[in-house]
Amino acid sequence: MEEVLRVTPVIGLPQFNGWSHVWELNLDLQTKLVVCLALEGDNATNIGRDVIELIAQLPPRSAQGLYQALKEAIALCENQQKSLSVSAGIFHHHQTVLASYQSSIVLKRGAKVGTIVQSENELRIIEGKFDLDDVFVFSTQNGRQFIDQISLNFERGYDSDGVITAIVPALHSLTDSSTAALAFVAVTQEEPMAESPVPTMEIDLQSNDDQESLAISLSAGQSSSKVNQELSQTTTLAQAQAAADDSGITIGQPLSSSKKQYFLHRKNILDTTLRGFAVAITIGRRLGQTGVQTATQIIQSFSSKTYLGAPPSKKMIRLAILAVVIVLFLALLGWFFWARNKQLEAAALAIAQPFRAQLAQLATVATVDPIPARLMATDLMAAVTMAQQQAEESGEKKTAAELSIILTEVKTVYDNISGRDELTELPIFYDLRLVSSDFIASQATLVGNQAMFLDSEKKTVIILNLDTKQVFATSVDSLESVRAVSPFQDLSAVLLANGLYQLPFNVDAQPVEVKEVGDSNREATLIANFGSYVYVFNPEKRNIYRYVKSGGQYSDPVGWLLDPLGVPFTSVVSWSIDGDIWLGTDSGQILKFTTGKAADFNAQGLEDPLFSPLQVVTREELNTIYILEPAKKRLVVLTKTGQFLREIKSSSLGAATTILINTDGTKAYVVSGSTVFELAV
């Protein structure tokens, strides 16, 4: 049996301004780096990846290396105005280097549990030793709130799996768990993969009186109070060693260095292969000698008996000996390749195990909240793809094959939660030509279950009940022109023509003027209402005007925009109002305005960005925004914070002009000319 480190990550659900991650890296077959980190601030995910790449470029293998790597990571985050919390450890042959910055590390040894290092706004490094059955718990700053519960469960006799099972629901139930992360590092035993000599630790402590002490380490059995010594405490190496002599504290030994993880891994495999050949040759030589002796004895016994004819010749004896040697050699060669194949399989499983653990966690998060799971799946696919490429370049076919299986499984999970669907032709809900043979809808709008379609050229309005499909048409040809329409809850609509006109929902109704033509509406292109307010979009006057509707009367217009500068009036092609005003432009922009001022809004998570004319639809009771982009034949659904939810592609969307969303947001009615398609969203 040999000791192995089993790392189990528990991380929160990522957000745009918060991200946490547990990362482990096998520096060689006996050295592992574990990092538990969290970042807070806008675009935290991308900066977090930069931090991991920074550490991975020259992976630390000593206290000095770990200190330098984390200092650079802290500086990177400070330059990007992000808050970093990180705990990390290097584990090598019963020796460990631990680091903490705005984080904590807890050790369970036997029945005792305690914090061995923690820090606030300073980086602390300690060195020590670990034993079989030790459990280290790395936590970020936001993960510290669970330390007391973890310690209590350990003291109650829970094993690591039991503690993890108890803590996961509590962590994920946090209102914002994006910066909460824990890493459980358990020292366990398993059957050895293959016999190989254990590398010796070389002590390389060259120093002078002016050198700063990188770390003062504590033997594993000492109290945590002695361990919590700051890295910022400056002592000479001689002073640190003197202190060690008095208190049992020892200067930590630096671990061996390397440039790349896979170079070391390849060297170990090569060394093992060469040693295997040497053993095979020695065993083959001895077995060959034994075989020769055995063959000679058989032949001598054979020739000592009396047979008709001459005794065996020397040539026959040599052939018999050669045959025995060949059989033994082939048997030995077969055994060697079988053993080597088993070793490669074990190595492949060891490399794949951390990815398997992350895949299991991804599957759990995906069932709870698919949006953060998409980010986790994207990160995991990138990590597995990189490891697979490295394995292929190194000629490690077993590892590459195992990682390929994991990558396929991750892609399957991602496809199930990606929210991306491609459909063929959409089912037709209604053909408006059944009401008016040459009707072409230029605009459509919805109130309750009543859909209103306007043909500006024919000056015809069609009202369609979406539940019963009862329908009627009414003419508004008494108006000189009709540019837009917006319905009210009282089953009437306001028309934007030469002035504003009200139209009841009945067959014989005629439009009635409620506001004469004026500067506010003469060149207006869009109209919409919210509650008792009616809004018109006027690119000529570079403003949005608001009227107050009271009964059949309309107030004088008031300019709603407080700062019209920066609004691309000539580019706006659609809008929707839910209390805020949302504008869609001909270049794929979605602009949000609150109380007359521009508000921040960015679409996130789209693989293919919006770039062409958009139709934007939302309402006060909906938590989502629906965007029709005909140029890309797709309907995109976003949250009102900009997070991607779903994308539906269909050739039927290529000629669509507008969409209607039903009351609960579960169906979309896509209008294309005279055809209304139905689509579940």
Helix pair angle (314-368, 160-172), 10° resolution: 40
Pairwise CA distance, residues 433 & 439, whole Å:
6
How big is the chain by its Cα radius of gyration, in Å? 37
Give the mean model confidence (pLDDT) for residues 9-27: 88
Q: What's the confidence (pLDDT) of residue 586?
A: 95
What integer is the mean pLDDT of 385-402? 88
User: How does residue 296 score in pLDDT terms, banded at 50, 70 and 90?
Assistant: low
pLDDT bracket for residue 273 (50, 70, 90)? very low
Q: How many alpha carbons lie under 13 Å from residue 244 in its C-beta half-sphere? A: 19
What confidence tens digit (pLDDT) does each residue in 199-223 have? 333 323 233 333 333 333 333 333 3
Q: Are 479 and 497 in contact (CB under 8 A)?
A: yes
Q: In sequence order, what are the residues at sequence separation of 6 or more whose Cβ sits closer than 8 angstroms to the Cβ of residue 676?
A: 428, 429, 430, 431, 432, 451, 464, 669, 670
Domains with residue ranges and CATH for the chain = 2-198+207-253 (3.60.40.10), 262-340 (no CATH), 428-680 (2.120.10.30)
- Can you tell me the distance from the alpha carbon of 382 to that of 567, in angstroms, rounded to the nearest whole number? 39
The pLDDT confidence band at residue 343, using thresholds 50, 70 and 90, is confident
The closest of 138, 128, 139, 125 to 66, measured between CA atoms, is 125
Q: With bands split at pLDDT 50, 70 and 90, how would you rate the model's confidence at 124?
A: very high
Confidence band for 312, pLDDT divided at 50, 70 and 90: low
Which pLDDT tens digit goes with each residue over 69-81?
A: 999 999 999 999 9
Q: pLDDT band for 290, please (50, 70, 90 cuts).
A: low
CA–CA separation, 582 and 590 (whole Å)? 7
Category of 44 on φ-ψ map: left (φ > 0), alpha (ψ -120 to 50) or beta: alpha
Distance (Å, rounded) from C-alpha 44 to C-alpha 531?
39
CA dist 595 → 482, 562, 582, 622, 625 (Å)? 29, 8, 12, 19, 19
pTM: 0.54
> What is the average per-residue pLDDT within 224-248?
34
- The reported pLDDT for the residue numbered 324 is 84
Mean pLDDT of 318-343: 82
At 191 the pLDDT is 56
Average pLDDT over residues 509-536: 94
Banded pLDDT at 99 (limits 50, 70, 90): very high
Least confident of 391-400, 450-459, 595-604: 391-400
